[in-house]
Amino acid sequence: MIEKEVVSIKEILLNINEFKNELFLKKYKISIFTILFVCCVLLFFSSKEKTYTAELTFVVEEENVASPLSSMSGIASQFGFDVFGGGTSTFSQQNIMQLLKSRGVLSKTLLEKITINDKKDYIIQHYISLYEKQNLWINSDLNNLGLKFSSTLTQAHDSIVSLACEEIVEESLNVNIKNDETNIISLSFTSSSENFSKLFVEKLISQMSMMYVEYKTKQASNTIDFLQSRSDSVFLELESSEREYARIKDINQRIIKASGRLKELQLMRNVEVLNTMYLEIIKNLEIAKMTLLNQTPIIQIIDRPILPLKDNSISKLLVTIISFLISIILSIIYLFFAKLFRDSLE
């Protein structure tokens, strides 16, 4: 048994030695293959267009914070408010992240105008120009239909915007939570243009913020509009009643009997009621405005992308080292299996 183990170890060492000698004999072929492989890899990475990633970090308010003015909540609650009270937001972190990737926000962002290289145009038009070689589906539609984006959009425009949104979400846009402890959200966009990447993330966060704020304050805004309209109508009615009361009072100056002054008394009561109503509405309107101010969320941007952006291309030295190691490993694997195949035939 011991002799068999010794023989096996001896065979292994002999095979290793033979393989080492074979590597030495074919060192020139290995060198040529390595040089060609490294050159091909370098040529491939050199031909790739440079890309730039613009990253923007922000935090979103998720809860209303308690306030010493919460004693006013009883009055405001009559109008559907939750003044300064706590409560979780419908827009949680995950919802905010999905909102940034939604077609609604992206399409509105793509239809905004930005200036790149002294050319002011829609973002979607810049995007098409930037990727005119890769996005054959866009150019085909634009060329065949003769489309150009303007203030009037057709169904064909909408389909192009939808395709662009899908491509951006799948290939260029990245939204994630950067830090769980501090609830920081990172928004990044990658393109072949520094200016486009920077402007796109800024417009995207701006569009999302407007939608978020509009949703959070919709009920309060509607209530304020109602109270403002009601206060205006009551004020006009109050003014009209005051003028009529003053006119009747002037007429009744010489009348002594109460029956003759009945109209004056009725108008006086009406003025007092309208005046009380107006004061109450104005008070509730001011409370509603404070509630709107409190409910308006703040999207705090922590870091904005700053030009020049760092390109995402790998350094040539790193590419050379990695490709060199891969080529050596591939050569060794090929020669190893080739030797096994020859030995099995023998």
DSSP 171-199: IIEEEEEEETTTTEEEEEEEES-HHHHHH
> What is the domain partition of the chain in residue ranges?
2-48+313-345, 52-64+84-216, 220-295
Task: Give the pLDDT of residue 259.
Answer: 63
Confidence at residue 198, expressed as pLDDT on a 0 to 100 scale: 92
Question: By C-alpha distance, which of 87, 68, 99, 281 is closest to 204?
Answer: 99
Indicate if the pLDDT at residue 235 is higher than 60: yes
**What was the pLDDT predicted at 99?**
85
Q: Average the pLDDT over each of 1-15, 187-201, 290-304 and give the range with the smallest value.
A: 1-15
State the Rg of the chain over Cα. 37
Q: How confident is the model at residue 12 (pLDDT cuts 50, 70, 90)?
A: low
pLDDT tens-digit series, residues 177-202: 876 677 788 899 998 888 999 999 99
Q: Output the 3-class SS for 69-96.
A: HHHHHHHHHHHCCCCCCCCECCCCHHHH
State pLDDT tens for residues 54-108. Answer: 999 988 765 454 444 444 444 445 444 454 444 444 456 777 888 888 888 999 9
- Give pLDDT, residue 83: 47
The tens digit of pLDDT for each residue in 209-232 reads: 888 777 777 778 888 888 889 899
pLDDT in tens, 122-166: 888 888 888 765 555 555 555 545 556 766 677 777 888 888 898
Residue with tokens 């705090």, as numbered in its chain: 300
Residue carrying the six token digits 């038009």: 125
> What is 120-133 written as a DSSP string?
EEEHHHHHHHHTTT
- pLDDT > 90 in the chain, percent: 9
Say which residues have a Cβ less than 8 Å from residue 175's Cβ, sequence separation at least 6.
Answer: 97, 100, 101, 185, 186, 187, 188
What's the pLDDT score for residue 150?
67
Residues 6+ apart with CB under 8 A from 102: none
Nearest to 56 by CA among 177, 274, 202, 237: 202
The pTM of the full predicted model, rounded to 2 decimals, is 0.62
- Highest-confidence segment of 32-46, 81-95, 145-159, 266-280: 266-280
Q: Which residues sit opposite 57 in a β-bridge? A: 186, 303
